[in-house]
């Protein structure tokens, strides 16, 4: 496994643990976009450092277009919940305005409240699997945050896609 993917895995696992601990402690609830923003701004931006691959906050993008994987859909690009780029200020666009630059990671999120929300994760899993297969130097993650109705603590489950590997229980809390 490439070192930058190993570093990213460690950074994300630590940030996800902090995220879920903090929202449990705060008794916080949110929908999908609330979770994405809280995670990115509260846990990823503060992790930026000259000591690893995530050097600058502009490597982190919310709702940023990513080129579609081969044999998936018809649109040439789609906005993804959270995108991590290899370099600051990066985009997917090349000099001909084609979405040819792949990010380091795509993180798709779903949030559910009791029995509401989170139902369309199957499409995310298929897209992330195709993305990881098409981009051997990139990784995809599917995050599901569940806020139970009964007042019990929220739960988080993350599946990870790298090349042809899929780890459906990569992170749980």
Q: Is the pLDDT of residue 170 over 80?
A: yes
pLDDT confidence of 152, banded at 50, 70, 90? confident
Q: How far apart are CA 104 and CA 4, in angstroms?
A: 9
Provide the pLDDT for residue 123: 84
Contacts of 133 (CB under 8 A, 6+ apart): 69, 163, 164
Q: Is the pLDDT of residue 35 over 80?
A: yes
Provide the pLDDT for residue 82: 98
Provide the pLDDT for residue 9: 96
Range with the poorest average pLDDT among 7-21, 24-38, 76-90, 103-117: 103-117
Range with the poorest average pLDDT among 11-20, 116-125, 151-160: 116-125
Mean pLDDT over the full length of the chain: 92
Residue-by-residue DSSP string for 37-102: HHHIIIIIGGG--TTSS--SGGGEEEEEEEEPPTTS-SSSEEEEEEEE-SSTT--SB-TTS-B-PP
What would you report as the CA-atom Rg of the chain, rounded to the nearest whole angstrom?
A: 16
Provide the pLDDT for residue 111: 94
50 or 131, greater pLDDT: 131
Provide the pLDDT for residue 132: 96
Q: Is the pLDDT of residue 32 over 90?
A: yes
Residue-by-residue DSSP string for 126-171: HHHHHHHHH-TT-EEEEEEEEE-TTSPPPEEEEEEEETTEEEEEEE
> What digits encode the pLDDT tens for the residues 85-128?
999 999 999 999 999 999 999 999 999 988 766 566 778 899 99
Provide the pLDDT for residue 52: 85
């Amino acid at each position: 496994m490439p070192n930058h993917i190993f570093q990213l895995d460690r950074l994300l696992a630590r940030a996800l643990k902090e995220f879920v601990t903090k929202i449990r402690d705060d008794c916080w609830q949110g929908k999908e976009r609330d979770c994405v923003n809280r995670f990115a701004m509260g846990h990823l931006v503060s992790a930026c450092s000259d000591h690893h691959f995530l050097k600058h906050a502009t490597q982190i993008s919310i709702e940023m277009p990513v080129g579609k994987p081969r044999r998936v859909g018809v649109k040439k690009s789609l906005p993804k919940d959270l995108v991590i780029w290899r370099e600051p200020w990066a985009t997917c666009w090349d000099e001909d305005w084609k979405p040819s630059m792949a990010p380091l990671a795509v993180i798709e999120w779903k949030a559910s409240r009791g029995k509401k929300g989170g139902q369309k994760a199957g499409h995310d899993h298929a897209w992330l699997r195709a993305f990881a297969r098409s981009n051997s130097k990139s990784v995809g993650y599917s995050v599901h945050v569940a806020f139970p109705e009964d007042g019990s603590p929220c739960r988080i489950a993350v599946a990870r896609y790298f090349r042809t590997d899929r780890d459906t229980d990569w992170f749980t809390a």
